[in-house]
Amino acid sequence: MTRASGVPQPRDDPGGFRRLLAILDPDPVRAERKFGEVRQRLVQLLEWRDCPFPEDLADETLERVARRLAEGLEIAADDPFRFFCGVAFRVFKESLRERERRERAVEELGREPAPAPPEPETEERLACLRRCLATLAPDQRELILGYYQGDKTVKIEARRRLATQLGIAAGTLRLRALRLREKLEACVTQCLRERW
Amino acid sequence: MVDDGEEPLSEQQSIRFLLGELSEEERLAFEERLLVDGELFERVRAEERELLDAWARGELSPAEARRLETHYLASPAGRDKLGFARALQTLEARERRAQQRSARILRFPRRPIERLALAAGLAAAVIGLGWLLRLAAPGPGPAPVVASVQLSAISVRGADGPQIVEVPAAAERVELVVDLEGVLAEGPFDVEVRDDEGTVIRRVVRVAAVEVEWGRTLSVELAAEILPGGEYELRLRPSSGEVVAVRFALRRR
């Protein structure tokens, strides 16, 4: 897939892809945002399925959805977004089945699965975490460390205080903490790659 | 949470999903909901992090921990998430220990009334402050009075200013004890003490780190007269690895 504006586009079927976006939303900007959200969820679902290359498989899934729409698949639902997700999910299941077939074929050939790469030592990872924390603004650093510190009982009270202090709802705080944590996780992963 | 009239999903169901305990049919139904429902998706992702943190703190049952490890160690992204949770937990534990150690280590009093009391005590009896000062090995003359100050090699909370330490005026020698928490290099270290203009005022080579109860420390002792007060930088240079720079502000009382 080629990428433009962060949205993957099948090289051989731009028409189907345009139709796909139009299904998601008549407004192109909102359509791209919704597409990005569905792609992100597919990537995560595939990660949870232990897929080693979830982004590639998610893009492949969405390409196939676009192709089916280009082939004339009719939209038969009041909620186009839900319809799109339904089609994407069916293709997702097909992708899983194909992957399982490929893995079984490899096993039958008697090949050993590739060994997992060596894990960075804890101290290396800790050094990267410290470095990545230092890149955050002080208030972000305080939020992420304050949100995730402590055992269950300590955390409940700490989070309540944090939400009150920031003047936001608990759900909003949870989302902010999650976004910051994901940013840190990506930073640490990148830092470890550079060290190794 | 209810979605279009469907049964609300409990946290327990999310955990069973994340641990791979759902049947294939249950799992596919759950995944379909996650794809459609953005709020549910975010909630499960947040619950995933809580589960990983609980694992890192040892709060899961052995069976749950095994299931989680089997599941997450099977993919690079899963291994990264486990590693991050463990690193975050380790960081928190070390910070907590560092704070407990700081509470035990004498900090020179900041309030005027306390400084006055300390000055009176110093004037009265040097030996009575044995927990603050120690005597060097006896020599031909009276043993020098040594003040020991504690420094930390790495600050996590991003403090920009130097560490502030105080040394009594009566001290003849100053021992700088550096907590090497967070320093990867093994040592030995070449140590330089620099003034605020960057001039090296003391250099000691091949200083070994010492294992103590809570970690590792490194010590250098200098004549108090070369540290008259002001800002300094302590540089620890290992044979391989990053140079560690520790800034401190020393006050003489």
Q: In which residue are the tokens 């893995």 written?
A: A103
CA distance B57 to A151: 8
Q: What is the pLDDT of residues A44-90, one digit of tens each?
A: 998 898 887 888 888 888 888 888 877 777 766 677 778 888 888 88
Interface test with B, best of A56, A185, A195 (most B CBs within 10 A): A185
- pLDDT at residue A176 in the model: 92
Q: Produce one character per residue of A105-130: b if its CB has 16 or more CB atoms within 10 Å, e if not.
A: eeeeeeeeeeeeeeebeeebbbbbbb
Residues 6+ away with beta carbon under 8 Å from B172: B144, B145, B146, B223, B224
Q: Is A131 at the interface with chain B, CB within 8 A?
A: no
Nearest chain B residue to A131 by CA distance is B156
- Select from B17, B18, B53 the Cβ nearest to the Cβ of A148: B53
Please determine, looking at this structure, whether the domain spanning A122-195 carries the CATH number 1.10.3470: no
pLDDT, tens digit (0-9, with 9 covering 90-100), for A35-48: 999 999 999 998 89
Residue pair B174/B167 in contact by the 8 Å Cβ criterion: yes
In order along its 253 residues, chain B shows pLDDT tens digits of 334 445 556 778 899 999 888 999 999 999 999 998 988 999 999 999 999 999 998 889 998 899 898 888 888 888 899 999 999 988 888 877 777 776 655 455 555 566 565 555 555 554 444 444 454 444 455 566 788 888 888 654 445 578 888 888 888 888 898 888 778 788 788 899 998 888 888 888 888 888 776 678 888 888 888 888 889 999 998 888 788 888 888 888 7
> What pLDDT sits at residue A9?
52
- The mean pLDDT value for A131-154 works out to 88
CB contact under 8 A, B73 and A145: no
Q: A193 pLDDT exceeds 80?
A: yes
The pLDDT score that the predictor gives to residue A45 is 92
A78 in B contact zone (CB under 8 Å) = no
Sketch out chain B's domains with CATH numbers: 11-96 (no CATH), 108-252 (2.60.40)
In this complex, is the C-beta atom of B92 within 8 Å of any C-beta atom belonging to chain A? yes
Higher pLDDT, A163 or A3: A163
> In this complex, is the C-beta atom of A104 within 8 Å of any C-beta atom belonging to chain B?
no
Return d(Cα B201, Cα B229) in angstroms, integer.
13
DSSP per-residue string spanning chain B: --BTTBPPPPHHHHHHHHTT-S-HHHHHHHHHHHHH-HHHHHHHHHHHHHHHHHHHTT-S-HHHHHHHHHHHTTSHHHHHHHHHHHHHHHHHHHHHHHHHHHHHS-----SHHHHHHHHHHHHH-SGGGTTTEEEPPP-SSPPPEEEEEEEES--SS---SPEEEEE-TT-SEEEEEEE-TT------EEEEEEETT--EEEEEEEEPPEEETTEEEEEEEEEGGG--SEEEEEEEEESSS--EEEEEEEEE-
Any CB–CB contact under 8 A between B107 and chain A? no
**In Å, how far is A187's CA from the nearest CA of chain B?**
11
Instruction: Give B-chain residues touching A94 at CB under 8 angstroms.
Output: none
pLDDT at residue number B157: 44
**Residues of chain A numbered 28-57 and touching chain B (CB < 8 Å):** 37-38, 41-42, 44-45, 47-48, 50-52, 54
Taking contacts as CB-CB distances below 8 angstroms, the residues of chain A near B26 are none
What pLDDT does residue A60 have?
Answer: 87
> Contact B38/A130, CB-based, under 8 Å?
no
Neighbours of B42 (CB within 10 A): 17
* Out of A122, A130, A174, closest to residue B86 by CB: A122
Taking the C-alpha atoms of residue B91 and residue A101, their distance in angstroms, rounded to an integer, is 42
Domain ranges of chain A: 2-108, 122-195
Q: Which residue has the tokens 């294992």?
A: B211
Residue B141 at interface with chain A, using a CB cutoff of 8 Å: no
* B131 phi, psi to nearest 5 deg: -80, -10
**Residue pointed to by tokens 């993919």:** B75
- A126 vs B contacts (CB less than 8 Å): 87, 90-91, 182
Tokens found for residue A137: 């603004």
The burial class, CB within 10 Å (0-12 / 13-18 / 19+), for B169 is: exposed
**Residue A181 pLDDT level (bands cut at 50, 70, 90):** very high
CB contact under 8 A, B35 and A178: no
Say whether pTM exceeds 0.90. Answer: no
In angstroms, rounded to a whole number, what is the distance separating the alpha carbons of residues B239 and B185?
8
Annotate B144-168 with b (16+ C-beta within 10 A) or e (fewer): ebbbbbbbbbebbeeeeebbebbbb
Q: What is the pLDDT of residue A178?
A: 93
Among chain B residues, the shortest Cα distance to A81 is held by B36
More confident residue, B32 or A153: B32
Of how many residues is chain A composed? 196
Q: Which amino acid is at B184?
A: L
Q: Do B83 and A133 touch (CB under 8 A)?
A: no
> Does A152 sit within 8 Å of B182, measured CB to CB?
no
A165 touches chain B (CB under 8 A): no
**Chain A interface includes B49 (CB < 8 A):** yes
State residue B137 phi and psi, 5-degree precision: -55, 140
In chain A, the residue whose alpha carbon lies closest to the alpha carbon of B184 is A123
> Model confidence over B115-127: pLDDT tens digits?
565 555 555 554 4
Nearest beta carbon to residue A85 from set B17, B36, B157: B36
* B29 near A CB under 8 A: no
Q: Do A130 and B182 touch (CB under 8 A)?
A: yes
| Residue B174 backbone dihedrals phi, psi, to 5 degrees | -125, 125
- Residue A174 sits at the chain B interface (C-beta within 8 Å): yes
Segment A107-127 mean pLDDT: 66
Distance (Å, rounded) from C-alpha B171 to C-alpha B177? 16
Backbone angles phi, psi at B106, to 5 degrees: -60, 130
Looking at chain A, the whole-number percentage of residues with pLDDT higher than 90 is 22
Distance separating alpha carbons of residues A180 and A173, to the nearest angstrom: 11
